[in-house]
Amino acid sequence: MNDSYGNGQNNVPVYTSQPQRRRMSTGGIVGIIVLVVLAILLFSSVGTYNGLVAKRQNVKTQLAQIDTELQRRNDLIPNLVNTVKGSANVEKSIYDDIASARAKMAGASTVKDKDTANTQLDSALSRLMVVVEQYPKVQSSSQFRDLATELEGTENRIRQTRGKYNTAAGEYNADIQKFPTSLIANMTGFREAELFQADSAAKEVPKVNFDTSSSK
């Protein structure tokens, strides 16, 4: 305590006490600053991690929607093929290609495998439709028209969901590559999502052999 002197009666010194102010050391101030910075970084990291989780889940959701539409189309195709089989001469290879592509689609587990199988199926169906155009009776049947309309609607939804998936995956991929988000992504196991790519085979014009003597 700091002592000070005052004059009392008869000029006798009187001692008064004042509380001593403690000064925080430089080390203590630095420690507090470090703790505050660490707390800010922790909360920021948690927010970044949760944001990545949400975007990764959105990518999975969009992929699940694609799978739903692909499965719906896979289920429609046998009915369409059976409708055509009894009324049109179609190359056996077209039916074989459709069956092969459907089998690959059913067994596809990665985006790349699904993309490849989907492209092969598109090509085979396009060839089938080219053949059907030569048979107005088939095209005019209500069963074929209903199936073709439903198939077309499903294919449109596939294209839309693929676009939504690629947008979600692209945003997610961009985020995990940005600094400092990339540090958290690498430490917590976030990996880049695959994108659906247009296969070169999809750009090829379907080739169909209309020689009915080789058809079965």
The pairs formed by 69-72 with CB atoms below 8 angstroms and a separation of 24 or more are 69/154, 69/157, 69/158, 69/161, 70/105, 70/114, 70/118, 70/158, 72/154
| Assigned token pair, 184 | 């958290």
Query: Are residues 52 and 184 in contact, defined by beta-carbon separation less than 8 angstroms?
Result: yes
pLDDT one digit per residue (tens) for the chain, 216 residues: 455 555 555 555 555 555 555 566 777 777 777 777 766 666 667 878 889 999 999 999 999 999 999 999 999 999 999 988 877 888 888 999 999 999 999 899 899 999 999 999 999 999 999 989 888 888 888 888 999 999 999 999 999 999 999 999 999 999 999 988 888 889 888 999 999 886 444 444 334 343 433 333
Query: Are residues 102 and 77 in contact, defined by beta-carbon separation less than 8 angstroms?
Result: yes
State the CB neighbour count (10 A cutoff) for residue 170. 13
Domain assignments of the chain as residue spans, ordered by start: 62-214
Q: What global pTM score does this model have? A: 0.70
Q: Looking at domain 62-214, which of 3.90.870.10, 3.20.10.10, 1.20.1440.20, 1.10.1740.10 is its CATH number?
A: 1.20.1440.20
